[in-house]
Amino acid sequence: MSTSWKRPKIHIKKTKSEWTWDVIGYALYLGSLIFLMVVWNMLPDEVPAHYNAIGEVDRWGSKWEFLILPMIGAFLLVFLQLIEKYPEVHNYPARLNESNAEKFYLLSRKLVNQLKNICLILFALIIYESASIALGWGTGFSKWFLPLTILGTGIPIIIGVMKQRKIK
């Protein structure tokens, strides 16, 4: 990119899809935190702390380790929300210019929004499932959890790259 052109700051309103993703992601994450608070005193001293690739618990740990999940989720939420707010600092191809900047920004911001909320949904599922296993309500993740997680995060990235290649 030419050093004489600086990336513009463009205010682009949030789209309906971004609001929808935020409502779903935030609601499920917040719901999992409320669920964790409700069941906290019922949890045994040891809870699932790690899973193998086929979704089986392969390490148990203190229920206090459980707090790591919401903390990582909160960190990701804040960090990705900041990244989402400033699309002009994202990485773009050299063909970014004043005439296509808005398209690039919106596409990039929507991708960060989707990934942020997919992460929140995944953390909510892990919190719920881990507590359910500890309480004897569930048997563990399906062997499909890891492949679906990889697809769920990979597909939006692939679609985003394909859409970005179409921007002139």
Domain count, the chain: 1
Q: What is the pLDDT of residue 107?
A: 97
The mean predicted confidence, pLDDT, of the chain is: 93
Q: For residue 3, what pLDDT band results from cuts at 50, 70 and 90?
A: very low
Dist. CA 97–CA 35, nearest whole Å: 47
Residue 90 lies in a domain: yes
Q: How far apart are CA 72 and CA 49, in angstroms?
A: 14
* Contact criterion met (CB below 8 Å) for 17 and 110: yes
- Gap between the Cα atoms of 53 and 138, Å rounded: 18
Contact 167, 103 (CB under 8 A): yes
Please tell me the pTM assigned to this model. 0.90
CA dihedral 93, 99, 105, 108 (to 10 degrees): -40
Query: How far is 135 from 47, CA to CA, in rounded Å?
Result: 9
pLDDT for 4 equals 45
Q: Is residue 27 part of a domain?
A: yes
Residue 5 lies in a domain: no
The pLDDT tens digits of the residues spanning 109-165 come to 999 999 999 999 999 999 999 999 999 998 878 888 889 999 999 999 999 999 999
- For the residues 37-61, what does the mean pLDDT come to? 93
5 against 111, higher pLDDT: 111
Cα–Cα distance measured from residue 114 to residue 92, given in angstroms and rounded to the nearest whole number: 18
Strand, coil or helix: 50: strand
- Residue 77 structural domain: 16-165
In a domain, 8, yes or no: no
Locus of tokens 């210019």: 97
